[in-house]
Every structure is written in C-alpha cells, then in structure tokens.
Chains A and B, each alone.
Chain A
C-alpha cells in the first residue's frame, strides 16, 4: 500500500449536476408553480397567493435570459447547477469558494403557512440557481431584485441546500409523528462551549457559490421573499481556499489540508451506504428517503495559540505533514496511513486526529462521513485575538452511527486545546426537488 496514490474523486458542483443550458436561459429555469404565479409586485393584475390565515407570499415572473446575455454574463462565473434531482444538488459537490450557513426559526402561523414557506423557498432557489432576468415592476413598487449581481442574475454555480431541525417537529405544525429517526438537538460534547444563540434552528439553508456576491444575493432574495414565514437565527459565512500548491487539497486556517480522506462521491453504492437515507430504513418515516443528515459545527480555532506551537507537535496532533498533507507514514497526500503497521503509534500517534477520526478498521468503516468544511473569519475577540476557524459540516445517513461516533473517538484529542466548538446544529437535508411541480419538504408535509 505504501506509496500508492489513492486519489479520492471529488466533483465540483457544476460537474455533479450540470444544468442543460438552452436558449431559454442559463438552465432552462423559469417554470413556476401555478399557485405562486403572479406578476410584478402584486400590483393591479398581480396575484396574492394566500395560505390559511391570509399568509401571503407574492412571487414574480422572471424573464427568460437571452442566449446573448447568457454567454456574456457567464464571463468569470460558474454555470448553473441543475436544481432538480432525486437529491439536493449542494450535498455531494466539493466545497465551493464561498458559502453561508444560515439558521432560521419558522414563524409561519400554521401548516398551510409552513407549506407556502417551503414552496416559496423552492421557487426562489429554482430561479436563483438557474439565473435569469428579474421582472421589472414598472411603477408598481421597488425593484424586484437587489441588483447585487447586475441586471441579470447569474447562477455562478449557486446551490441552495435546505435542512430541517428537530424543533420543527414540535407541536406547532402537527409534524411530531414524522420526526426523522436520528434527528435530535445537537449534543454538547466534552470540550464544547456551545452558545445557545448560535445553535440549532427550525431550518438551515446553506448557500454556496463561486463568489461571495452570489451567496449574499441569494440569501437576501430568499429572506426578502419569506419575511413573515421565518426569521434568521444565526448565520456564518465561510470560504474554501484554493488548493496550495495546486493539485492538492484546500487548507484550514491552522495551515493543514482539510478533508483529504472522504468517501467516493462518484460511487453510488458508497453514497447509499454512508450518505443518503435509504427508502425503508428502519425507524425512518418514509418521507426522509434520499435526504441526508446534515451536521453543522462552528469551531473557533485559537490561531494565535496554535502559531506558538512547534511544527512537529502540530503535525503529531493531526497525524499529517503540514507542508505536504502526507500522512506521517507516507509520501502521498492520498496514500492511506497504515495504522496496522504502527500499532503503538510510533509514527502516527494514537491520539492524532486522523487516527481517532478514521481508524480505518472494518469496524469503523460504517462511521465514515462526507466532510464538507469551510473556513470562517469574522473579527476579533475580547482579548484582541482573531476570531477565525472552521464551519465543519458533514453529511451522513445516521448521526449517531457516524458523526457522533467519530466525535466520541475525538473526545480529548490533543487538538482540543486549540479549538473551541461554539455553535451549529443537527439537521436533515431534505430529499431533492424532482421537477417543476415538486417542492422541498413536499413529502414531509403531505
């Protein structure tokens, strides 16, 4: 095994589900749900879609993008990622350059309102990921779009990934008997320092795109169309660094490559074993099939402290070389460490991160997770240290069997002195939207 390269296949969002581009737009989007059909701004002729209790969202009809505009506006931007599919499009692709993870609490009045909320989120995500021209409103109101991306909304590889938290299944909407089997509030592990204001939420939405403006544009658009239905709870923005040197793996803010070893997203069997909730899974309500449990952990890195630690100690904590990403026992990034050949941890310490996280034994194979981490950076703390760290996210079939098993093995790893988990949550990323008449959460609400 030693020295053999075992490249883990990764696919970009565009490669994962490339949207067929046609003359009608970036991605042939623009089909709208009939009951949300309306015209600019709800002015004379517009339609008010009302759920129970007068809860109303107004949707507008975007113009299809022209071919000319399509090609011109893609300059420097990523193409559209297909929104429709059995799975949500933002789960398998490797991290994009920019992402925001936003938690919301639902304020919808009742089940009808909640349905309207999911329909509206779906409708906006469908438009934003495909791109197109926002509708002009004449003299009927303020512009229908923030204009942040210019007159035409470019997709820029945008994916919008929506998950539900356990609190959505309380007594408000009559969903208690549909709670996903493995969905709980996030556990507090030893060494965590969780701030309740930055934990949990009824919903989570992750926006990922090629540029920060596309992320912010999408967030503002979704928030604007759902003002009465949900309130943002906490949010965090992150980025995935370019691989340096190129051809390697993006680094975290401790300087180490992050997420080298991941399941093979091109292997459907592996995804069915590790990532997707399977139809008929024991204890799972049937609507959860093709969803994926989505764990978000906001982890502060004490980078000043870290920078005062000598290199060998740093490398022993991770079990990899900082410069190259190689396991300490190998000369290739993707060469798996051979722990069986090092039972006492002479080379790779028994307490190192990679060894505890993935011992690479038959017994631990089913605990593997699909890691999707972003770096975050947001200001300074009370003692003048930089507040930066990791938005750790991962997808899996069963949080207890996977994330919690991994995290339990990591309790008291030496790295804990240099990190401080402070927020996040457990969610179930919903099954995909299969077509123009489907919407996120349809089976859950049916």
Chain B
C-alpha cells in the first residue's frame, strides 16, 4: 500500500517545473519517497525560491539540498515527519543542485542533479560536519580537561590544607586560582554529571544556609562572610574529595560530540548571565576573573575545532577579534596587586564596554553550533 502510494507520488513528482522567484503561483510540492529523492525538477532561473517538500514516506527523516559535487548543504529539513509537507526557502544561485534523502531504516539517496542556469550568486553551501569529524576534537578536549583536573586537584588540596590549618587569609588567596582552574573547563560540565553541582553549584534554589550547598561558591561565601575555619573545614574537605572522585572517574566519561560545538557559545552565555551580571559573586568580587577563565575554555574549544571551522566559517577571524577585545577590556579591571574590580564597582562606561564586547563575541560565536552540529551524510 505504502509502496504503491509512494510510486504514484514519485511519478507525479517526476516532471515538476517550479516557478522561480516565489512570485505568482504556488509551486507544486516535490515529493520524497523510498524510491526516489525528489525525481526530476527544474528551476527556470536563479533567485529566491521556496520549495514545497513533501515527505511521501511513512517514516521520518531528513532532506537536504546539496551541491552534488562535494555534498555541501544549501538547506536542510530535519525532523521531517512522515507524510508531511514543509517549505524550504533559499536564494538559489546558478550551479548544480540535488536533494539528498536520509530516512530512517533506508539507505541515503541522492536525487538527480539539476543545473540552474545563469551567473547569479546564491546562498553558500556548507560542508556538513560528521560524527567522525568530531571524534578527534572531542578527544583532544577530553585530554585538556583531564590535565586540567589534575591541576585542579592540586589547587583544591592546597585550599583544603589552608582551611585545615586555620589559615583563612591564605585560603582566601588560594581560592581564586583554584576556582579559575575549574572555570577553564567549561565545555565539560555536562559530562561531569552531578559533580558539577557539587563542585560549583549556586545557592539559588537551596539558600546560603543549606548544608547541601557545597563547592567553590559555598567556600567563597564562608571565606568572605566571616565564617570560621571549623565551619569551613568540612566544606573544603568535601571539595577536595569531589574533585578527586571526578578525576578518578574522568577517563570513563565522554563528552557528547554535539556538545563540542554547542559549548563554543554556551560557556560565555553563562558568563554573561552569571558572571558579568555579578550573580555568582559570593563575596570575593572576582566574577570578571571567572569570565577570563571562561574565555580560556572557549578558546580551547575553538582550537580543537579549528580545522573544521576554517573551511566553513569565513567570519571566524571576527570571533577572535571580539574575544580579544573582551579579554583586554576585562584585563583592564585587574588591579596591580592582582585583585579584581567587582562588577558592582565598575564605572558605567567600563561595564557597558565589557557587556558590548561579550554580546558581540557571542553573536560571532553563535553560528559555530549550527555549523559543527554532527550530521549524517
């Protein structure tokens, strides 16, 4: 039954001529079936066009419009439900196009190559990034995190000794490097599972007096709110044991491949929301330093993804331009004695500059998640 319907639909779609430029008549749908990915179609001329694409299968999948020469994608319809029709809009340039169908339980298919005449530039196609492409970057990042956790354990051990010895002044000075070390590992927090909450959780839903609140911020709160060494000893000790357990478990954890690209903007999204706002200042006034550590984590991700990004993202230099601007604006707020200006004490113009630089860096970073999303080909 389904096969018969599909065959009929394929026949109907076999010679669809599409009006170019979207004006006038509504174009006929191009139907994708298990027997053919769109059949023959034709565009009179380049320009803006909305294809109506119908999934004639009884299973879901994905349809891409590609450059058949190299598989680069002009447009995609993901999560394409069975027997549904959806528009695909793009600026079609002169050149060769083909649809590619990826349906569940079906071999990938590529439809006929269609040549659009003329000499018009259209929307660029982007080479898809595959799961395989992301394995090495993820592994490199995993190694970076592993090394970072080893250093972190040394840092929190120092902190634990300070508190254990009752030397809270020294603890206040050792808290920052330890916390910053953790904050450079920004892409891995999901892979840390519950450890992230235990090591770097906020008091938000618990309240500052809740004994379940643990980690760096809990310790910061105590160290900068006059709590005693006796109060803080169990906190420092638990921080050390949590980091130790995380380090031990790390070789068995895996960073999701999709996360590698996503985190390139998410780390600084969080920095904007929680650090540059001052939300996560529990007393030390060092959220600008935390943002600098977050930039370092972002740079590490960009570094492992660089071979994939260079051929795909022409605005990549702007990412670095704005990260550099943000970093230098932040560095200006580091005092000669190594202390940092708390966000709440920033002059208005300095704060606007930092926020503007961070906003623009995020705008430039945002496309990377789409470009590096792992795709089946």
Contact = CB atoms under 8 A, between A and B. Distances in A.
A56 B321 contact: yes
B133 interface: no
Contacts of B169: none
A39 B92 CA distance: 12
B360 A43 contact: no
- Determine the main DSSP class of A at the interface with B: loop
Interface string A28-71: 00000000000111111111100000111010010110111000
Contacts of A135: 91, 123
Interface string A120-145: 00000000000001011111111000
B76 A139 contact: yes
A63 B91 contact: yes
B367 A42 contact: yes
Contacts of B369: 142
Contact of A58 (B311, B315, B355, B370): B315
B37 interface: no
B373 interface: yes
Interface residues of B, number: 46
A46 to B, nearest CB: 5
Interface residues of A, number: 40
A46 B123 CA distance: 9
Interface string B353-374: 1011101101110110111010
B339 to A, nearest CB: 25
A41 B366 CA distance: 9
Contacts of A221: none
B45 to A, nearest CB: 14
Contacts of B74: 138
B258 interface: no
A44 B124 contact: yes
Interface in B76-92: 76, 89-91
Interface string A129-168: 0000101111111100000000000000000000000000
Contacts, number: 135
Contacts of B22: 63, 66
B315 A42 contact: yes
Interface stretch (A176-184, A208-216, A225-233): A225-233
A63 B21 CA distance: 9
B315 A142 contact: no
A63 to B, nearest CB: 4
B124 A139 contact: no
Contacts of A41: 315, 367
B8 interface: no
Interface in A356-405: none
A43 B314 contact: yes
Contacts of A137: 123, 367, 370
Given A43-B312, A66-B22, A224-B363, A139 B126 contact: yes
B352 A231 contact: yes
Contact of A133 (B48, B314, B325): B48
Contacts of B357: 107, 228
Interface string B7-23: 00000000000000011
Interface string B127-151: 0100000000000000000000000
Contacts of B124: 39-40, 43-46, 138, 140
Interface in B296-311: 311
A105 interface: yes
A44 B370 CA distance: 13
Contacts of B73: 138-139
A242 interface: no
A63 B48 contact: yes
The 3 A-B pairs of least Cβ separation, nearest first, read: A228-B360, A45-B124, A141-B367
Interface of A: 23, 39-48, 54-56, 58, 61, 63-64, 66-68, 105, 107, 109, 133, 135-142, 224, 227-231, 233
Given A54-B321, A138-B74, A138-B125, 16 more contacts: A42-B315, A43-B313, A43-B315, A44-B314, A48-B317, A48-B318, A55-B321, A56-B364, A68-B23, A136-B89, A138-B90, A138-B123, A138-B124, A139-B126, A142-B369, A228-B357
27 contacts: A23-B23, A39-B124, A40-B124, A43-B371, A44-B125, A44-B314, A48-B315, A48-B317, A54-B317, A64-B48, A67-B23, A68-B24, A135-B91, A135-B123, A136-B89, A137-B370, A138-B76, A138-B124, A139-B76, A140-B371, A141-B367, A224-B363, A227-B359, A227-B363, A228-B360, A228-B363, A230-B356
Interface of B: 22-24, 48, 73-76, 89-91, 121, 123-126, 128, 311-315, 317-318, 321-322, 325, 348-349, 352-353, 355-357, 359-360, 362-364, 366-367, 369-371, 373, 375
